[in-house]
């Protein structure tokens, strides 16, 4: 549990912005990684905290000198680490990525800064200018199941959003096999509250959100263009997120009264009236079984509990009432964020893809 030993053979990495939930998750996952360890925690706060004061559950996990956060000093980070995980706000990520890359540090950015290829779409959805077009050109979208080879060679990886990870892995094989229409898809999703970040918000308290459930960002959520872009990249018939007219895909997220986990119930139109459940499941099995260690195709619908605290996505699909209904589940903090970041780091640094996961 303590990282003290065997560090010789282990690759040092840095985390920028470790005081959020994805930072916490990265630290806990890396604490049991056999070939990678946290060497530098960089905080943007004026007074850098000890991370185990921020998160008391980390007491005893990191050596004292690492647990003490330090400033975001690019030279010091480059000296201490071969790869940096950025768990920063979008704007800060665009600010710190170029100097790190210049110093030879590989970057996995967990913000949305480099996810959307079209800076205009980015600016429309995120409300501020994109300040690093060069980074945008370099960045590889870090969904290993779809872009594994590009990730291996990347210096900058845009770690996908949580909702897009589940949606893309569920829809991609079915679109590729041509069994569902690339239009009129509805992604009805629900996420645990950790997806909203660690900041205090009145609507997220136990009283307000604890026994509650609600839809938000209906049809206007930032992850909608990201899902569409990913499917468009892999399936050209899918309209692009910048396109006008009827959206090829409607995304409606909901807030669950749980800490973690995403469940997506996805509705698509079959391309043939003869499509049946067996055929749809065959497509998924053929795409993933024996090839993808983190994708489980199953004959019954998954639940949040099946994937919480794991890096796996569970997928089920069926044809019913004239629709293809797909249910996909992930842990938003792991396969939807920090676990996927480590999966990407493993690829970029030549480790086993499932090391530490």
Of residues 148-187, which lie at the interface with its own copies (CB under 8 A)? 184, 186
| Alpha carbon distances (Å) from 306 to 93, 216, 254, 310, 316 | 32, 25, 19, 8, 13
Identify the residue whose tokens are 């706000």.
89
Q: Which of residues 211-230 bind its own copies (CB under 8 A)?
A: 211-216, 218-220
Phi, psi of 88 (to 5 degrees): -110, 165
Alpha carbons within 13 A on the beta-carbon side of 209: 20
Q: Which of 227, 301, 315, 348 binds its own copies (CB under 8 A)?
A: 301
Phi, psi of 36 (to 5 degrees): -150, 145
Q: Decide if residue 103 touches its own copies (CB under 8 A).
A: no
Identify the residue whose tokens are 């893809």.
353
Catalytic site residue from 16, 162, 168, 171: 162
Smallest gap from Cβ 230 to its own copies, in A, equals 17
Q: Decide if residue 313 touches its own copies (CB under 8 A).
A: no
Identify the residue whose tokens are 């019913």.
320
Number of residues near its own copies (by CB under 8 A): 79
Identify the residue whose tokens are 């949580």.
162
Smallest gap from Cβ 128 to its own copies, in A, equals 23
Q: Which of residues 254-283 bind its own copies (CB under 8 A)?
A: 254, 256-261, 263, 265, 267
**Which of these ranges, 36-44, 79-87, 120-128, 300-308, lies near its own copies under the rule CB under 8 A?**
300-308
**Which of these ranges, 38-46, 91-99, 162-170, 193-201, lies near its own copies under the rule CB under 8 A?**
193-201
Q: Which of 7, 59, 120, 128 binds its own copies (CB under 8 A)?
A: 59
27/105 with CB nearer its own copies:
27
133/219 with CB nearer its own copies:
219
Alpha carbons within 13 A on the beta-carbon side of 297: 21
Q: Which of 13, 100, 108, 307 binds its own copies (CB under 8 A)?
A: 307
Q: Decide if residue 246 touches its own copies (CB under 8 A).
A: yes
Question: Active site includes 69?
Answer: no
Q: Give the contacts of 17 (CB within 8 A, at least 6 positions apart).
A: 23, 42, 43, 44, 86, 87, 88, 89, 92
Q: Give the contacts of 126 (CB within 8 A, at least 6 positions apart).
A: 90, 112, 222
Identify the residue whose tokens are 């089920």.
316
97/194 with CB nearer its own copies:
194
Smallest gap from Cβ 192 to its own copies, in A, equals 8
**Which of these ranges, 94-102, 108-116, 159-167, 309-317, lies near its own copies under the rule CB under 8 A?**
309-317
- Apex CA 295: angle with CA 32 and CA 307, to 5°? 60
Residues annotated catalytic, as ranges: 162
């Amino acid at each position: 549990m303590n990282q003290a030993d065997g560090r010789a053979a282990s690759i040092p990495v840095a985390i920028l912005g470790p005081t959020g939930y994805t930072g916490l998750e990265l630290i806990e996952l890396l604490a049991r990684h056999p070939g990678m360890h946290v060497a530098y925690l960089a905080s943007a706060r004026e007074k850098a905290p000890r991370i185990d004061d921020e998160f008391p559950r980390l007491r005893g996990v990191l050596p004292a000198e690492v647990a003490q956060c330090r400033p975001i000093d690019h030279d010091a980070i480059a000296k201490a680490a071969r790869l940096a995980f950025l768990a920063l706000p979008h704007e800060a990520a665009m600010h710190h990525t170029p100097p790190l890359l210049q110093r030879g540090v590989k970057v996995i950015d967990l913000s949305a800064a480099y996810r959307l290829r079209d800076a205009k779409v980015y600016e429309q959805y995120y409300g501020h200018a994109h300040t690093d077009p060069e980074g945008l050109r370099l960045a590889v979208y870090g969904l290993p199941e779809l872009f594994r080879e590009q990730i291996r060679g990347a210096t900058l990886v845009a770690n996908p959003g949580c909702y897009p990870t589940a949606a893309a892995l569920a829809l991609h094989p079915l679109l590729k096999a041509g069994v569902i229409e690339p239009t009129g898809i509805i992604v009805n999703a629900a996420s645990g509250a950790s997806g909203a970040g660690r900041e205090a918000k009145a609507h997220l308290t136990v009283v307000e959100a604890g026994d509650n459930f609600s839809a938000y960002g209906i049809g206007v959520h930032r992850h909608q263009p990201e899902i569409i872009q990913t499917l468009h990249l892999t399936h050209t018939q899918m309209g692009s997120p910048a396109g006008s007219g009827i959206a090829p895909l409607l995304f409606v997220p909901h807030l669950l009264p749980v800490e973690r986990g995403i469940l997506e119930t996805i509705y698509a139109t079959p391309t043939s009236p003869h499509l049946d459940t067996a055929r749809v499941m065959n497509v998924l099995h053929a795409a993933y079984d024996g090839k993808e260690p983190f994708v489980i195709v199953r004959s019954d619908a998954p639940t949040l509990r099946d994937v919480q605290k794991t890096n796996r996505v569970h997928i089920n699909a069926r044809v019913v009432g004239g629709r293809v209904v797909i249910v996909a589940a992930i842990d938003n903090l792991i396969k939807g964020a920090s676990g996927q970041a480590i999966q990407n780091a493993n690829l970029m640094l030549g480790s086993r893809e499932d090391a530490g996961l």
